[in-house]
Amino acid sequence: MRGIVHERINRQPLANPVPLGMRLPGILQEDGFLMRWTSAFDDSIAPVYAVLDNLEAYVRPASAPADFLEWLAGWVDVALDDAWSEEQRRSIVAGAAALHRRAGTPGGIRDAVRLAAGPDAEVDVEDSGACAWSPTSGAPLPGSAEARLEITVTVPKGDRAELERRFERVAAAVVPAHLPVGVTVVVAG
């Protein structure tokens, strides 16, 4: 949007939708100098009106300027990674509210890691199923007695160690703090 405003200013000035000269009393509108003087203000304030009229486009991740995404991510409490493509960054910011609702659940963890890994990745989240109760008195506990979460990410290409660090950061943001987590990256290509 900002680029569009600057491009249009260099080619052709933006028109002020509410010219200041037209707001003056009729007697003052007859003064040519005063009308030219207020039109200078019109030229300088027109880009402000253009931005305000399109403010919705700035706060929608799909249409926001690329350098504005970082600020939008701060609104929804997401730390963007520089290694992510612009498309990934837009998807993550757009889906952040839904991810926050599901944070801590296996499905929410899987979706968060999948967004960070990209569309070609396969993410598997295995919950140990550890719990401290059983419907039958004295019966063995279902699942493993140790609460643990294992995340396996299969990607077509990339540096395994770097990807593992990246996915560990994402997992740390969405996995409950008391739950140990292991992240394994498999590079298929």
Query: pLDDT tens digits for 99-117?
Result: 889 988 899 999 999 988 8
Taking the C-alpha atoms of residue 124 and residue 153, their distance in angstroms, rounded to an integer, is: 6
49 and 112 both lie in a single domain: no
The answer to whether residue 19 is domain-embedded is yes
**What range defines the domain where residue 167 resides?**
103-189
117 and 180 both lie in a single domain: yes
Q: What is the CATH number of the domain that holds 121?
A: 3.30.300
Taking the C-alpha atoms of residue 10 and residue 129, their distance in angstroms, rounded to an integer, is: 63
Residue 55 has pLDDT above 90, yes or no: no
Q: What is the pTM of this model?
A: 0.63
Residue 132 has pLDDT above 70, yes or no: no
The answer to whether residue 154 is domain-embedded is yes
The answer to whether residue 60 is domain-embedded is no
108 and 37 both lie in a single domain: no
Q: Listing from the earlier edge strand, what are the strands of the sheet with 122-127?
A: 122-127, 149-155, 181-187
The answer to whether residue 29 is domain-embedded is yes
pLDDT average, residue stretch 35-60: 86
Across 31-65, b (16+ Cβ under 10 Å) vs e yields eeeebeebeeebeeebbeebeeeeeeebeebeebe
The answer to whether residue 73 is domain-embedded is no
